[in-house]
Chain A
Amino acid sequence: MTAAEIVEKLSANFYQKVGEWHEMKASPYMTRMGSYMDVTDASFIRDICLFLRDEPDLVFNNLMLLSSLDNGDKTFSVVYHLESMTLKHIFALKVTVPEANPIVPSVVSVWNHANWQEREAWDMMGIQFQGHPDLRRILLDEDYPGFPLRKDFKTPEFFRGMKVPY
Chain B
Amino acid sequence: MPEILERRVISDSTLPIPAKVVSAEVVEPRRLKTEEMILNIGPQHPSTHGVLRLEAILDGEMVVDCVPHLGYLHRCFEKHTEAMTYPQVIPYVDRMDYLAAMNSDHGYALAVERLLGIQVGEKVEFIRILFAELSRIASHLVAVGTYGLDIGAFTPFLFCFRDRETILEMFEKTCGARLLYNYMWVGGLSHDLHPDVLGMCKEFVKVNRATHKEVNNLLTFNKIFVERTANIGVLKPEVAINGGATGPMLRGSGVKWDLRRDDPYSIYDRFEFEIAVGTGMMGQVGDCFDRHWVRMLEWEQSLNIIEQILEKWPHNDTTDVQAAVPKRIKPPVGEIYSRTENPRGELGFYIVSKDGINPWRCKVRSPAFVNLSLLSVISRGYLVADLIAILGSIDIVLGEVDR
Contact = CB atoms under 8 A, between A and B. Distances in A.
Answer whether A and B touch in the complex at a CB cut-off of 8 Å.
yes
A116 B373 contact: yes
A124 interface: yes
Nearest to A130: B4
Contacts of A137: 5, 71
Contacts of B328: none
A137 B338 CA distance: 27
Given A79-B350, A85-B255, A64 B365 contact: yes
A73 to B, nearest CB: 11
Contacts of B262: 88
A141 to B, nearest CB: 7
A24 interface: yes
B370 A116 contact: yes
A21 interface: no
A64 B373 contact: no
Interface string B355-376: 0000011010100011001100
Contacts of A33: 114, 336-339
Nearest to B374: A112
Contacts of A140: 71, 74
B69 to A, nearest CB: 9
Given A85-B241, A116-B373, A139-B74, 9 more contacts: A24-B334, A26-B115, A26-B332, A34-B334, A61-B242, A81-B350, A111-B243, A112-B239, A135-B4
Nearest to A103: B2
Interface in A70-119: 70, 72, 79, 81, 85, 88, 92, 111-113, 115-117
Nearest to B76: A148
22 contacts: A24-B335, A27-B117, A29-B338, A30-B117, A30-B336, A34-B334, A34-B335, A34-B336, A36-B335, A65-B337, A65-B365, A67-B363, A72-B360, A81-B337, A88-B262, A112-B243, A112-B373, A128-B2, A135-B4, A136-B7, A139-B71, A148-B76
B122 interface: no
Of A33, A72, A81, A128, most buried by chain B (CB within 10 Å of CB) is A33
Interface string B274-313: 0000000000000000000000000000000000000000
Contacts of B395: none
A112 B348 CA distance: 18
Nearest to B332: A26
Interface residues of B, number: 45
B244 A30 contact: no
Contacts of B336: 24, 29-30, 33-34
Interface in B363-403: 363, 365, 369-370, 373-374, 377, 402-403
A33 B117 CA distance: 13
A142 B361 CA distance: 24
Contacts of A88: 262
B244 A113 contact: yes
B204 interface: no
Given A65-B348, A116-B373, A139-B74, A26 B334 contact: yes
- Dominant secondary structure at the B interface: mixed
B79 interface: yes
Given A61-B241, A85-B241, A132 B70 contact: no
Contacts of A62: 241, 244
Interface in A132-153: 132, 134-142, 148-149
A113 B370 contact: yes
Nearest to A151: B82
A63 interface: yes
A34 B335 CA distance: 5
A24 B338 CA distance: 13
Given A33-B336, A139-B70, A67 B350 contact: yes
Contacts of A68: 363
B114 A27 contact: yes
B242 A139 contact: no
A10 to B, nearest CB: 19
Nearest to A131: B4
Contacts of A61: 241-242
A42 interface: no
A110 B241 CA distance: 12
B97 interface: no
B112 to A, nearest CB: 12
Interface string A38-64: 000000000000000000000001111
B268 interface: no
A69 interface: yes
Contacts of A65: 337, 348, 350, 363, 365
A70 B361 contact: yes
A63 to B, nearest CB: 6
B145 to A, nearest CB: 28
Instruction: Pick the 6 closest A-B CB pairs, nearest first.
Output: A113-B244, A67-B363, A139-B71, A34-B336, A116-B373, A65-B365
Contacts of A124: 78
Interface string B207-236: 000000000000000000000000000000
Given A34-B335, A112-B239, A113-B244, A141 B350 contact: no
